[in-house]
Amino acid sequence: MTQGYFDNKKNEYVITDMFPRRPLIDYLWSDSVFCSLEHFGGGTVSARIDNEKRVFICGNNLVYIKENGEYYSANRNFKQEKFDRYEAHVGLGYHKVVSEYKGIKTEHTIIIPKDGFAQLNNIKVTNLTDKKRKTDLYSYIQLNLATSWHHSYSRAGFDEGSGGLLFTHNGYDLPTKYNTILALSDVPLAAYSVTKSDFTGIYGDFFAPDSLKKDRLSCNGATFDGELCSAMQFTLELKPNETRDINIAVVLDKTYDGALKAAKKYSLQKTYENELKYQKELHEKYLPVFVAETPDEYFDTMINVWLKRQLLLDRGSFAGKGFRDLMQDIAAYTTIDPERAKRYLLLMLKHQYEDGNPIRMIQPNFHYPYNDCGVWITGAVLAYLKETGDLAILNEVLTYMKGDSYENAIAKDAFMYEPYVAAEKSDTVLEHIDRAVNYLINCKGKHGLVLWRGGDWNDSLNNCGLKNVGESVWLSIATVKSCNEYIELLEYLGKDSSKIKAARDELTANILKYGVEDGRFIYGYNDEGDKIGSKESKQAKFYLNPQTWSILSGIVKGEKADELMKKVDKTLKCPFGYQQCYPSYSHSDDAIGRASYFVEGLVENGGVYNHGVAFKIASDCVRKNGDDAYNTLKMMYYSNPENPDNGVEPYMLSNMYIGPECPYKQMRGFAPMSGNTGTAPWIYMDMTEYILGVKADFNGLKVQPCFPKEWDKVRVKRIFRENEYDIEFVKSDENGIIFDGKAVKGNILPIGERNSKHKVTVYFNG
């Protein structure tokens, strides 16, 4: 288990075990830069340029201290010396590594500024002793300069005009004009190196760089080298208890003048302090939106701080903007940032084809014929409308992407940067929703189920329907849920929903006729007519998602839902969650797709895929079993005693745990993937809307908790439509709601006047 603690006063997670099972990841970002760091501070920094990523920092970001000929890495501690203090602070918008050794305290803080293509490094050095100290400090930052393989274009060396280190890669017909990097400090350089080999030695390493064995770095320029770096040496004289700050900005630009202007600004101490202040103010805007006080401190910490942070992480920064990914994110973070939710809704709805089916991903475009993207639209739109009351968005007119989704599909993993091509036809947002739903209910196979085509939520069942024959039971169930949401919207608007109801009921009947086997649901039929996720299947005979979604969609209710989940527990449950399927595929099957090629227990092939487990938690709450929901959630915790050495970041949710059927025992329960996961929005909704039961509705806040029996008292503070609701839940013999001193019929808290505060007591029978 990762050793560390949450500092809730500072909104930090402090890592005290600096050598955990795997490096822990932190993310920093702005609208123009995305930074992925390991806990030591090294990583990758990318500029977003014309929807493409230009990596300009990639690798180690190190600080060395040398005194009297002895040296060590203050933020990496390669030799694992017995530091007096050594920890990483994961903050909201910054990352800091702190060490104390031999009377020197070093704090290395990294920030991505709100504007421009830059990374800011603040290195604070303190003499903790009562003696004067003379030390050399070295900063090493690995750069990614070349945007072509012609290293003859590259130049690197000291820049007389700025006093910094200048790197250029100016050449013929390059893919980007951003080929100038300037590293500038606010303290004069004593010496420098600009290549890794010059710093470490050609046959040296970062544990004991050859250059640190000498008095000064070489101060040599370089060309024709693919491993460039900004290595800066500073000589510091520190009085007793004195602290010195060194600020280093690494800036990417098209021109020297542009880089110089930005670097001069970003290397100032004042700029660094202002950027820290900006990050604090930024997070103070959304943290109060939903605040929980429950008997579970970690539950509260994740809701109140860290899940919000992970939700606002732009998953498009990892690859591209996935349609289904953003729709699920929007459904969760519309409570936190409704303006952003609206912006992305309008952007993504423009990427439906004329038949109503969306493209899988944009920026870059991914044309594989996944067929499920449309089912996520209704939930996202409903969440936005209920949170904001902004019905006007339904009348905004948007274009479609030109063409038919299936005809434009490419049945291979191909990512394309290409311009948006609009169809001649434009529709309102409401009509876009209608077209998406109607596409699904009319896209059927011989069993009257929705065609699988290139796949559904389960990306890895990607060759079950490419011949346009295979049908997905899960996608059919998800379509029923989407129809329910669309019907709710139509009826609120006073519009006729009879055609959608009839189509939903017909689809439901087909699901129950062709998708049920021994009281549970199969996954579907492939192009060969074989059942997938069936007792007849040779492998993967039982899948999680069709079971949970049959409850979420309302197809299965009451005792039948409870019986179904007993089957899930019996077949799929393990000490750290629920497998996506069982038994795992042990040999490949091209009639299935890549899921059958994955090693057993990995991702969709029998892994504990936490996104799917989040659906299970929601379905537990739908069937009003708070204990099952809460116990399932706790299995996902980094602190699960049944899975102690899982490697997951305590401040983030992992995409998966490697499943119990993995042939390599030491890998079972390990979490190798973090951050980029649809688990985050669903767990946030599970915790806030399903377990705590506080959810926006058209006419107010709906309160319908599903607590575990052990909880007696809970408090929630929720800001909704600029009003503040202070809700206290108290276990009682009877159910009832007191709103501002008066009893309320039903479970909807009314919308008060703008900026009003309301005191609510909810009595619940546990």
Mean pLDDT of the chain: 96
Per-position b or e across 728-756, b if 16+ CB within 10 A of its CB: bbeeeeeeebebeeeebeebbbebbeeee
One domain, residues 430 and 466: yes
Edge-first strand listing for the sheet containing 531-532: 471-472, 524-525, 531-532
Q: Any bridge partners for residue 134, and if so which? A: 237
Q: Any bridge partners for residue 744, and if so which? A: 737
In this predicted structure, the answer to whether residue 578 has a pLDDT above a threshold of 70 is yes
One domain, residues 273 and 345: no
One domain, residues 709 and 738: yes
One domain, residues 269 and 384: no
In this predicted structure, the answer to whether residue 317 has a pLDDT above a threshold of 80 is no
In this predicted structure, the answer to whether residue 2 has a pLDDT above a threshold of 80 is no
Among the three residues 579, 604, 629, which one is the final residue of a domain in this structure? Answer: 604
Read off the tokens for 540. 């993967």
Among the three residues 249, 284, 319, which one is the final residue of a domain in this structure? Answer: 284
H-type helices in 516-557, by residue range? 545-552
CA atoms within 13 A on the CB side of 103: 15
Check residue 1 and give its pLDDT.
65
One domain, residues 276 and 301: no
In this predicted structure, the answer to whether residue 428 has a pLDDT above a threshold of 80 is yes
Would you say residue 624 lies in a domain? no
Among the three residues 252, 284, 316, which one is the final residue of a domain in this structure? Answer: 284
One domain, residues 279 and 317: no
- Residue 709 neighbours by CB distance under 10 Å: 10
One domain, residues 200 and 310: no
Q: CATH number of the domain that 59 lies in?
A: 2.70.98.40
What's the average model confidence in pLDDT over 583-594? Answer: 97
Contact 205, 227 (CB under 8 A): no
Strands (E) across 648-722 are located at 656-657, 694-697, 700-703, 713-720
**Continuous segment of H or E residues that includes residue 65:** strand 52-67
One domain, residues 93 and 119: yes
Would you say residue 657 lies in a domain? no
Residues 73-105 have pLDDT tens digits of: 999 999 999 999 999 999 999 999 999 999 999
Q: CATH number of the domain that 754 lies in?
A: 2.60.420.10
Contact 67, 237 (CB under 8 A): no
Q: Are strands 516-517 and 520-521 parallel, antiparallel or unpaired?
A: antiparallel
Distance CA 548, CA 522 (A): 12
Would you say residue 675 lies in a domain? no
Q: What sign results for the dihedral spanned by CA atoms 719, 723, 729, 734? A: negative
- Assign 299 a pLDDT band (cuts: 50, 70, 90): very high
In this predicted structure, the answer to whether residue 320 has a pLDDT above a threshold of 90 is no
One domain, residues 428 and 544: yes
One domain, residues 273 and 340: no
Check residue 329 and give its pLDDT.
96
In this predicted structure, the answer to whether residue 318 has a pLDDT above a threshold of 70 is no
Q: Are strands 573-574 and 542-543 parallel, antiparallel or unpaired?
A: unpaired
Check residue 752 and give its pLDDT.
85
- Residue 79, helix vs strand vs coil: coil
Edge-first strand listing for the sheet containing 118-127: 4-7, 12-15, 85-90, 95-101, 104-111, 118-127, 243-253, 180-185, 164-169, 154-159, 222-223
- Assign 455 a pLDDT band (cuts: 50, 70, 90): very high
Would you say residue 349 lies in a domain? yes
Would you say residue 233 lies in a domain? yes
In this predicted structure, the answer to whether residue 315 has a pLDDT above a threshold of 80 is no
Check residue 18 and give its pLDDT.
97
In this predicted structure, the answer to whether residue 220 has a pLDDT above a threshold of 70 is yes
H-type helices in 469-609, by residue range? 473-492, 498-514, 545-552, 558-572
Check residue 675 and give its pLDDT.
82
Contact 75, 58 (CB under 8 A): no
Would you say residue 648 lies in a domain? no
Check residue 51 and give its pLDDT.
81
Q: CATH number of the domain that 306 lies in?
A: 1.50.10.10
Domain count within the chain: 3
One domain, residues 23 and 90: yes
Distance CA 120, CA 251 (A): 9
What's the average model confidence in pLDDT over 467-495? Answer: 98
Range of the domain at 186: 4-284
* Helices and strands (H, E) in the chain, number of each type: 16, 45
Check residue 673 and give its pLDDT.
87
In this predicted structure, the answer to whether residue 676 has a pLDDT above a threshold of 90 is no
CA atoms within 13 A on the CB side of 205: 3
Would you say residue 499 lies in a domain? yes
What's the average model confidence in pLDDT over 652-665? Answer: 97
Would you say residue 162 lies in a domain? yes
Read off the tokens for 746. 């039903």
One domain, residues 198 and 242: yes
What's the average model confidence in pLDDT over 696-705? Answer: 98
